[in-house]
Amino acid sequence: MSGEKNLLPEPKLTCEKCKIQMSLGKVTVSYLGSEFPIELLRCPSCGTVFVPEELATGKMLQVEQALEDK
Amino acid sequence: MDHDHAREREMQCIQEWPPACTATCPVHVDARGMIASIVKGDYAAAFAIFHKAVPFPSIISRICNHPCQVACKRIEVGEAIMINALEKACADYSERPARKKSFVSKKDKRVAVIGAGLSGLTAAFDLASKGYMIEIFEAKERIGGRVRDSDERILSRQAIDDDLSVLEIVGVTIHCNSQVSNNGGIPFGSILEGFDAIYLGPGPVSIESLRLDLALNPDGHIEIAPTTYATSDNKVFSGGSHRYSPSRYSPISSMSDGRLAAVSIDRFLQGASLTAGRDLEGSYKTKLYTSTKGIEPLHAVPMADRTKGYTQEEAANEARRCLNCQCLECVKVCEYLAHYGSYPKRYVREIYNNDSIIMGMHQSNCMVNTCALCSLCETVCPVSLNMADICLDARQSMVKKGKMPPSAHDFALRDMAFSNSEAFLLSRHQPGFSTSKSIFYPGCQLSASSPGQVAKAYGYLRQNISGGVGLMLGCCGAPAEWAGEKDLMEKTMGAFAKEWRQMGSPRIITACSSCYRVFKDFLKDAEVETLWSILAVHQLPQSEQKTMSKEFAVHDTCSTRYDESIQDNIRCILGKLGVQVTELNDNRHLTTCCSYGGLMSFANSEVAEKVVRRRIGESDIDYVTYCAMCRDNFSARGKRALHILDLIWAPDERDPAARKGPGFSDRHENRAKLKTQLLREVWEEKVADEEKALELYIDTEMRVLMEKRMILAEDVQKVISHAESTGEKIIDSATGHLIAHYKPVSVTYWVEYATHGSGFTIHNTYSHRMELIEGTTK
């Protein structure tokens, strides 16, 4: 999952709290003791991130299942 | 999991035992494999299989006394397969590859073979193939013994010579016209001195006249030890037709004698045990069970010309009659066992390996978690092997080691936690009573699926049962048991037992088969009954029936497959209701799971789908069940089905058999509402209205998606509540939708929504278990 980029057109997303447009940035995700760096849309100010549906139900799910069977 | 225990279970499965034909054949020709190759038209492969067991294929394929055919299972449905005639077809229709010279390293031990009949020739061939130096001593002018007495039209001299030429290739030295005897010819003593071991296969001659200095039995035959073929002289081994009366001549037994004596000679010369591990040599009875139920009886395919044997076409037709004997009784009835393409012997090994692996992937986790734990396999297994025990054992072990995938049972266990929370949990004596002789425990799923029926059933019990009928709502703990969560199961049962004892340990009347099973297994001192036994003996309420079908097929529950009285009670109630009952083929103790059992549907929706589809495909008639989950699983796939309570207290729907069961969210809500309703109506308690939840607008498509993704309306509410109270949300400028996420416990839920008046319209929702480390790199 490392270095995974979302190839779909990035939606124009704004962090409602900070009123700042979200931009791609490095985020760490972890599961069952394993950590992965990943590029996601995030608020440059508060750091809140956006996980797209395709990622959550696709690659992320696959990695979760693989880690669960490790 | 204990290794010895796993090994024992693995050995219990009989599927890998050979078919009866092979086990009965003294040299264990794999007739099943050979015939399968004939069916494919692959005579080379068929011949190779035959030849592997038989060194002289032309001879045996023509004169074998074929004990295999007496054992053939086809006899039960027609006539035995003509195995020997098919062997002849293999010998006739295959191009034999030229035999290659063996490159086995030569041994320095010399073995004499006295007598060149089938037993001696086989011993000579087998030992020469192992590298021993072999010399054959034959009294007559040619080798072959009684084989040469065969009818020329059946077995030509040429075919004999062709078969026996193999001995030269393996380097056997042959001395013809060489009688060995202490009564003229080569003295037996000189052979004893000159060789390291001797095989004696004298054929149908008077042994006494040879004066061989070997112990004889009272019949005048050489005294031979069973299994080892040893004689009174430790370097002399003996077998073949001289052991039997001439009328019992069996070429294949002679061949087997020579082969097994050769095994002994090899062991003797290597100083190994002569007896160890020889239980399954020669003819034996297989443990393989093969059902011939439902197989069309067929007679043997006749031969157009008996002297020539089968044509290729005839042979193929005859081969197609072979039952290809297998057991697979459990695999035939279970979609789960069939799904993984193998059978319990292999599965037990895989599951054990999965459990004991330290590094690497646990490949069989999903398989372990998919079993419905319904024990149908045990019911149909000729040796009662139960995969449910094995899978449950493995699940418990996974939980103990912390190796159970967190996502496997999380949703079901949270559902259980909901049922055992204040939202649903309840215990009360009947109004006006301070004690309870009985309590009604409807179970969490009937309460979720048909809360109205539960309220009516409780009213009925209060009217018909004396001594006070209390009520207890909750979940019995079955999901924890199925998930392998032993501690949670004990804790759940402990909490129930404490409450139940405070109620005075009353008789438990349950309307759920799983609850019934759990109480029977985990609360041994409780008197447990089903609602069905009460309804069977008491007068039923005045029927409120609308125009419903009067014919139903009964689907029995898997958790009470062995409780015949429950099954009888159901049929008794249906009889009283005037229902015309149709029995499914697989009913009562042979019933199948609806896919809820063992939490199968949560672990593996693909297999669950197969299981439920198979069950609903068994009959076009509407089903009647006595388990809410069975009914809901059937109706979800479009099968018309009623719960038996629907026949007693007709629901409001116009066509209740077509009613789809509630989704996961509504199941929670129905339980909570039932509790509130009963407290208000039965106990006349004042119950405050629940805090008004957020108003959500969720269309049908979104509800289906939420079911599939196992996301509850209450999860969505939590996300929106959190977003709206903290302002932590994202706006998508393209759609104007709000996007928010929240992680109540272990799952992060995402919701895309928009405000709708005072409520919210849900546009999308999904989840993940991976944790986001947010706000870390400002």
Span B1-22, pLDDT tens digits: 788 888 999 999 999 999 999 9
Q: What is the mean pLDDT of residues B752-767?
A: 96
Give the 3-state secondary structure of residue B245.
Answer: coil
Q: Is a pLDDT exceeding 70 seen at residue B546? A: no
- Supply the pLDDT for residue B360: 87
Judge whether B649 lies within some domain.
yes
Cα nearest neighbour of A20 on chain B: B730
According to DSSP, the residues that pair with B302 across neighbouring strands are: none
B225: CATH: 3.50.50.60
Whether B415 and B516 share a structural domain? yes
Least CB-CB distance to A69: which of B361, B769, B772? Answer: B361
Q: B253 is written with which tokens?
A: 């037994």
Give residue B336's domain range. 329-404
Least CB-CB distance to A28: which of B727, B768, B773? Answer: B773
Judge whether B653 lies within some domain.
yes
Q: Is a pLDDT exceeding 70 seen at residue B38? A: yes
pLDDT in tens, B669-718: 999 999 999 999 999 999 887 777 789 999 999 999 999 999 999 999 99
User: Rounded to whole angstroms, how far apart are CA atoms B447 and B441?
Assistant: 10
- Supply the pLDDT for residue A2: 46
Whether B568 and B505 share a structural domain? no
Domains in chain A and their CATH numbers? 14-68 (3.10.20)
CB contact under 8 A, B767 and A56: yes
Residues of B whose CB is below 8 A from A62: none
Least CB-CB distance to B727: which of A17, A35, A42? Answer: A17
CB contact under 8 A, B733 and A53: no
CB contact under 8 A, B768 and A56: yes
Q: Assess contact for B647 and B623: CB atoms under 8 A.
A: no
Judge whether B59 lies within some domain.
yes
Q: How confident is the model at residue A3 (pLDDT cuts 50, 70, 90)?
A: very low
Whether B347 and B333 share a structural domain? yes
Q: Is a pLDDT exceeding 60 seen at residue B406? A: yes
- Domain boundary, last residue among B404, B424, B453: B404
Q: Assess contact for B177 and B141: CB atoms under 8 A.
A: yes
CB contact under 8 A, A49 and B772: yes
According to DSSP, the residues that pair with B136 across neighbouring strands are: B113, B174
User: Rounded to whole angstroms, how far apart are CA atoms B228 and B197?
Assistant: 14
Q: For chain B, give the mean pLDDT.
A: 94
- Supply the pLDDT for residue B219: 84
How many Å lie between the alpha carbon of A35 and the closest alpha carbon of chain B? 9
- Supply the pLDDT for residue B1: 76
User: Rounded to whole angstroms, how far apart are CA atoms A20 and A14?
Assistant: 5
Residues of A whose CB is below 8 A from B366: 69
CB contact under 8 A, B771 and A32: no
Q: Does A10 touch chain B (CB under 8 A)?
A: no
Residues of B whose CB is below 8 A from A58: none
The number of C-alpha atoms within 13 Å of B354 and in the hemisphere containing its C-beta is: 24
Q: Does A8 touch chain B (CB under 8 A)?
A: no
Q: Which uninterrupted H or E stretch holds B551? A: strand B551-554
CB contact under 8 A, B730 and A65: no
Rounded to the nearest 5°, which phi and psi values hold at B196?
Answer: -80, -25
Whether B761 and B713 share a structural domain? yes
| Percent of chain B clearing pLDDT 90 (strictly above) | 89
Whether B230 and B345 share a structural domain? no
Least CB-CB distance to B774: which of A31, A47, A61? Answer: A47
CB contact under 8 A, B731 and A69: no
Judge whether B122 lies within some domain.
yes
Whether B477 and B575 share a structural domain? no
Tally C-beta pairs within 8 A across A and B. Answer: 103
B669: CATH: 3.40.50
Q: Could you tell me the sign of the dihedral formed by the alpha carbons of B627, B633, B639, B640, in that order?
A: positive
CB contact under 8 A, A11 and B750: no
How many Å lie between the alpha carbon of A12 and the closest alpha carbon of chain B? 6
- Supply the pLDDT for residue B5: 87
| Residue indicated by tokens 């789960």 | B336
Residues 6+ apart with CB under 8 A from B678: B426, B455, B458, B471
According to DSSP, the residues that pair with A55 across neighbouring strands are: none
| Percent of chain B clearing pLDDT 70 (strictly above) | 98
Q: Is a pLDDT exceeding 60 seen at residue A4? A: no
pLDDT in tens, B336-374: 999 999 999 999 999 999 999 988 899 999 999 999 999
**Residue of B743, B755, B774 best to disrupt the A interface, most CBs of A under 10 A:** B774
Q: Assess contact for A60 and B770: CB atoms under 8 A.
A: yes
Residues of A whose CB is below 8 A from B726: 17
CB contact under 8 A, A69 and B363: yes
Judge whether B309 lies within some domain.
no
Give the 3-state secondary structure of residue B477.
Answer: coil
Whether B335 and B436 share a structural domain? no
- Supply the pLDDT for residue B80: 98
Q: Is a pLDDT exceeding 90 seen at residue A1? A: no
CB contact under 8 A, B750 and A56: yes
Whether B527 and B618 share a structural domain? no
Cα nearest neighbour of A46 on chain B: B775
**What does DSSP assign to residue B470?**
E
Least CB-CB distance to A12: which of B361, B734, B777? Answer: B734
Least confident window among B53-57, B100-104, B497-501, B591-595:
B100-104
Residues 6+ apart with CB under 8 A from B294: none
Judge whether B433 lies within some domain.
yes
Whether B146 and B220 share a structural domain? yes
User: Rounded to whole angstroms, how far apart are CA atoms B113 and B199?
Assistant: 5
Q: Does A2 touch chain B (CB under 8 A)?
A: no
**Residue of B362, B768, B777 best to disrupt the A interface, most CBs of A under 10 A:** B768
Q: How confident is the model at residue B586 (pLDDT cuts 50, 70, 90)?
A: very high
Whether B635 and B715 share a structural domain? no
Least CB-CB distance to A47: which of B363, B771, B777? Answer: B777
User: What is the DSSP code string of B485-509?
Assistant: -HHHHHHHHHHHHHHHHHTTSPEEE
The ipTM, to two decimals, is 0.91
Q: B305 is written with which tokens?
A: 């010309």
Name which of B606, B22, B30, B8 is nearest B280 in CA terms: B22
Residues 6+ apart with CB under 8 A from B559: B374, B513, B514, B516, B517, B597, B627
User: Rounded to whole angstroms, how far apart are CA atoms B629 and B595?
Assistant: 9
Judge whether B307 lies within some domain.
no
Least CB-CB distance to A22: which of B730, B738, B772? Answer: B730
Q: Is a pLDDT exceeding 90 seen at residue B774? A: no
Sheet harboring A23-31: ordered strands across? A49-50, A34-42, A23-31, B771-773
How many Å lie between the alpha carbon of A52 and the closest alpha carbon of chain B? 9
pLDDT in tens, B610-655: 999 999 999 999 999 999 999 999 999 999 999 999 999 988 888 9
pLDDT in tens, A17-66: 999 999 999 999 999 999 999 999 999 999 999 999 999 999 999 999 99
- Supply the pLDDT for residue B690: 73
Count up the domains in chain B and report the number.
6
pLDDT in tens, B718-733: 999 999 999 999 999 9
Q: What is the mean pLDDT of residues B41-49?
A: 96
User: What is the DSSP code string of B177-216?
Assistant: S--B-SSSSB-HHHHHHH-SEEEE---SS-HHHH--S--B
How many Å lie between the alpha carbon of B713 and the closest alpha carbon of chain A? 18
Whether B607 and B722 share a structural domain? no
Cα nearest neighbour of B402 on chain A: A68
pLDDT in tens, B369-389: 999 999 999 999 999 999 999
- Supply the pLDDT for residue A8: 56
How many Å lie between the alpha carbon of A66 and the closest alpha carbon of chain B? 8
- Supply the pLDDT for residue B778: 39
Cα nearest neighbour of B741 on chain A: A50
CB contact under 8 A, B771 and A11: no
Cα nearest neighbour of B733 on chain A: A12
Q: Chain B residues within 8 A (CB-CB) of chain A?
A: 360-363, 365-366, 405-408, 709, 726-734, 738-739, 741, 748, 750, 764, 766-778
Whether B224 and B191 share a structural domain? yes
pLDDT in tens, B225-266: 999 999 999 999 999 998 887 778 899 999 999 999 999 999
Judge whether B283 lies within some domain.
no
**Which residue type sits at B472?**
M
- Supply the pLDDT for residue B533: 97
- Supply the pLDDT for residue B691: 73
